[in-house]
Amino acid sequence: MRGMVRGILLTSNLPQLQNLIKRDPAAYKEEFLQQWSHYDSIRQIFQVNPDEQAHHFRELVSFISQVAQCYPKETADFPSHISTLLLDHYGTLSADTRKNLVQNLIMLRNKDVIGSIELLRSLFPLLPRTTSSTLRGFIRKTIVSDIKNANMRSKNHKLNRAVQAMLFGMVERGMDGEVVGDKGKLRAAGPLGALASSGGDDAMWAVLLTKELWRKNIWTDAKPVAIISLGCFHPAMKVQSASIHFFLGSDDEKEDSDDEEEEEVTNVKALHHRREINKKTRSGDKKLQRKLNLAKKKKHGKKNEPYLPNFPAIQLLSDPQTFAEKLYDILNRHDKRFSLDHKILLMQLLSRVMGAHKLCVLSFYTYVIKYLTYHQLRVPAILVALAQSVHNLTPPDALTPVVHKLSQEFVHPGVGSEVVAAGINAIREVCRRQPWSMEDDLLGDLVEYRKSKDKAVTSAARGLLQLYRDINPAMLKRRERGKYASIGLAKGVQPLAFGHTADAAVDIEGLSLLEDHLKKLRSEEANSENDDETDEKAWKNWDVESDSESSSDSDGWIAVDSDDNNSLDISDSEDEQVDSTAIKADHQPNEDEGGVSTLATSKILTPADFAMLNDLRIQATQKALDSGGGSNTKRKLAALQANKKSMHQANQQEEDTFVSEIDILGPRKKAKADYAERIASIEKGREGREKFGSLKGKKKKSVPSSSTNREKVRNKPIMMILSSGTVRNKKKASLREKQQKLRAHITKAKKSYH
C-alpha cells in the first residue's frame, strides 16, 4: 500500500521524479517508462489536435529532456520527435509550445544527447518561419555560439563543411526565382510559389549567419566568401544588398536585421509623456536618457561615410573575372529596375574587384559614362567607383572618352567651383592609375585652372600638374614642367609605355639564402618526425575520416587533394612554410645550372617569403659588416633596412590605394549653417543676458540712455570710416558742391550765433 502511494506521488510530481532519476536512474526506471508511454500516447493525440492537453505535453517534453541522458536506448527517437513536430507542424503550434520545443532541443545538445549537425539541421529552417523576434534572436545566438564553441580549440572541419553545405543550399535554393516589383521580392504565385517566396528569406538568413561567423573570425577561408559571393547574384534585392555590403566592409546592425526588425523612428514626445505618467524613479530617468541619446545618435548619424573594403574577402574570390562580369551583367540588365542606391552599390563592388585583381571589364566604362553629369544624384560616389576601377593594365583607349566626358561636364565656366574641383580631382585619380588616358591639349587646359581664385579648384589643378611632373613631364608645356622634371628630360628619362614594365629579372638576389633556410627547416623536421609520429597518424586518420563522412554532406563542395607532388605550393604565412617545404621535399635545386637557384621555378614566392628573404639578407649583410665590411656594405645594409620599413608601411597603408569621396570633393569651405544650427548659436549667445539689446548706455551711464549716432560714428575704426558712403561722396564732390555746402554751413552758424 505504501509503495502504491509512493508511485502515485511520483507520477503526479514530475520535478521530484526528475530529481530522483538523476540520482539513481536504475531504481526509478519503471516510473520513467510509465511516463514515457504516457508521453507517447499524448504525442499522437497532440499531432492530431495541438490545442488539446498542450500544457501537459510541454511538461512531459521538459521532463524527458532533463533525464534523456539517463536512458539513452529508450529515448533514442525522442530528438527526432521534437524535430519533426517543429518542422512539420510549426504553423499549427502555439507560441509557448514552439518556444518549449526549441529550448528542449537545445538542452539535448547541451547534454550531448544529439550532435551539432543534427541540432543545426533543425534550427536553420526555423529562422525564416518564426515571427517572434525573441525566439528568432535566441535561435540565431544558439547557432553562432554552437559553431564558435566547436571551433574554439581547433577547427572542426567536419562540422564546418556540413554547415557551409547547408548554407550554400539555402542560398542556391532561390536562385531560379522570378523577381517582381521594384523591391526585388520573389514571385509567390504558381505551384512553387511558396518555395520561391521562402527562398529569399532562407538565403537572407544564410548570408547573415555567414557574415556574422566571418566577423567573429570563426570562418576565415574561401568557402564563406563563396557563399556570400553567390548571394550577390540572388534575385532578391535584400539578399544582394546584404552580400554586397559584406564585400564593401559596410556592415552594421541595421543591415543585418530583416524587414520585420527594421528600426523604427523613436517618438521623443511619447517617451516624455510616458515618463510623466509613470512612477518617478532614478532607473526610469536613466532608461529615458539612454533612449533619447540613442534616438539622437540615429538622427544625427554620419551619412555618406566612405566604405572601407573587406580586403581578405575580395582577395579570396575564386574566379574574380567571372564574378566581375556577372556583376556587370546584372547591373546592365536590371538598370531600369534597380534604384540608384543599389546601382551605386553594384558599381562600388565591381570597381573594388576590378582594382584589387586588375581586371578589365571594358563595358563598365561605356555604362558609367551616362551618369557622369554634374547634376546627377550621388555623383561623388559614382566618380569614386570610376576611379577605383582603373589600374595600370586598363587600356587607355577605353578611358580617353571617359576623361573627355568628365572635362566637358564638370570643368567649364558654367558650373560652380565645387563641381570644377570635383571634376579635376576625378580626372587626376583616373590618370594616377592610367596616365596614358590623358591628351596633351586637354592636360594643358586643365592645368590652367591653377590660377583660379577658388582654393578647391586651385588645389585640384596643382595636384594634376604635380602628378604629370612626376610621371610624364613631356606632356606638359616647357614652362610648367618644373626644375627636376626638366633635368630628368634632359638626361633622357622617359616613362614606360602602356603594357611595358621594367627589365625582367634574371634571378632574385639572395634567393640562395632562402633556399638554405628552407633546407635547414626540412632537416629539423626530419629529425623530429619520430617524436611526432603518433600525432601525425592521428591527424591522418582524422583527415580521412572527416573527408569520408562529409562527402555526402558537402552538397557540391569538392575536396581537393593537396598531397600531389606536382602541384604548386602557395603559402601566405611563415607558419605554413614548414609544412609546404615538407610537402615539396622532392623539389631539390639543381646545382649544375650555373649557380642559379631553381626555387623560384618550383615554388610560388609569397609576400611572406619575400619578407623572410629580406630578413635573411639583412642578417647576412650584418655579419659581413661585423667581419670587417666597408662603406659599400654599410650602404647595402641601410638600403635593406629601408626596404623592410617601406614594405611594412605598404602593408599598414594598403587601404590608401582606394579612393574616398573626400578625395574627389577636395578641400571645401565650411558648409553654411542650417536653421537649427543658427538658432542653437543664437541661443548660446543669449545665455547670461537679461534682455535683448546692448547694455552699454543702460548700465554704464548715470542716466540710462542709448548712444547717439554721432557717438557711434566718433568711435568707429578709421578703416570703416574710409569706406563709408559719406567719405566717398566728399572725395568725389565737385567744386560747386563744396561751395554750396560751405555756404550752407556759414548760414547755419550765423543763425545759431544770433
pLDDT in tens, 81-127: 999 999 998 888 899 999 999 999 999 999 999 999 999 999 999 99
Q: Which residue has the higher pLDDT, 611 or 680?
A: 680
Asked whether the predicted pLDDT for residue 545 surpasses 60, the reply is no
Q: Indicate the average pLDDT of the chain.
A: 80
Among 217-226, 325-334, 417-426, 510-519, name the one with the lowest average pLDDT. 510-519
Q: Is the pLDDT of residue 696 over 60?
A: yes
Give the Cα separation of 626 and 527 in Å (integer). 32
For residues 386 and 368, the answer to whether their CB atoms sit within 8 Å is yes
| 534-568 residues labelled b (16+ CB within 10 A) or e (exposed) | eeeeeeeeeeeebeeebeebeeeeeeeeeeeeeee
Give the pLDDT of residue 655: 44
Please choose, from the candidates 36, 46, 41, the residue with its C-alpha nearest in 3D space to the C-alpha of residue 89: 46
> Any idea what DSSP says for residue 394?
S
Per-residue confidence (pLDDT) for residue 718, from 0 to 100: 85
- pLDDT at site 401: 96
Does residue 192 carry a pLDDT above 60?
no
Whether the pLDDT of residue 241 is over 60: the answer is: yes
| pLDDT band per the 50, 70, 90 thresholds, residue 243 | very high
- Residue written as grid cell 570710416: 721
What pLDDT score does 593 carry? Answer: 40
Please check whether residue 590 is in contact with residue 600, taking contact to mean a CB–CB distance below 8 angstroms: no
Whether the per-residue pLDDT at 254 is higher than 70: the answer is no
The most confident of 387-396, 539-548, 564-573, by mean pLDDT: 387-396
Q: What mean pLDDT comes out for the span 376-390?
A: 95
* Residue predicted with more confidence, 692 or 312: 312
Sign, CA torsion 266/270/272/276: negative
Q: Which residues, 6+ apart, have CB-to-CB distance to 8 below 8 Å?
A: none
DSSP codes joined into one string, 650-673: HHHTGGGGS--HHHHH-S-PPPPP
Q: What are phi and psi of 572, to 5 degrees?
A: -110, 0
Is residue 56 scored above 70 in pLDDT? yes
In a 13 Å sphere around the CA of 646, the CA atoms on its Cβ side amount to 7
CB within 8 A of 655, min separation 6: which ones?
A: 308, 309, 311
pLDDT at position 197, please?
Answer: 47
Q: How far apart are CA 358 and CA 394, in angstroms?
A: 8
User: pLDDT of 661-694, one tens digit each?
Assistant: 888 888 777 777 888 889 988 888 877 766 666 6
H-helix or E-strand spanning residue 185? strand 185-186
DSSP state of 504: P
What's the Cα-to-Cα distance from 154 to each of 45, 149, 175, 219, 544, rounded to whole Å? 45, 10, 34, 12, 17
Residue spans of alpha helices (H) in 627-657: 631-652
How many C-beta neighbours within 10 Å does residue 283 have?
Answer: 7
What sign has the CA pseudo-torsion 146, 147, 148, 151? positive
Higher pLDDT among residues 708 and 35, named by residue = 35
Provide the pLDDT confidence category of residue 641 given band limits of 50, 70 and 90: confident
Q: Give me the phi and psi of 249, to 5 degrees please.
A: 70, 30
Greater model confidence, 244 or 578 = 244
Whether pLDDT at 225 is above 90: yes
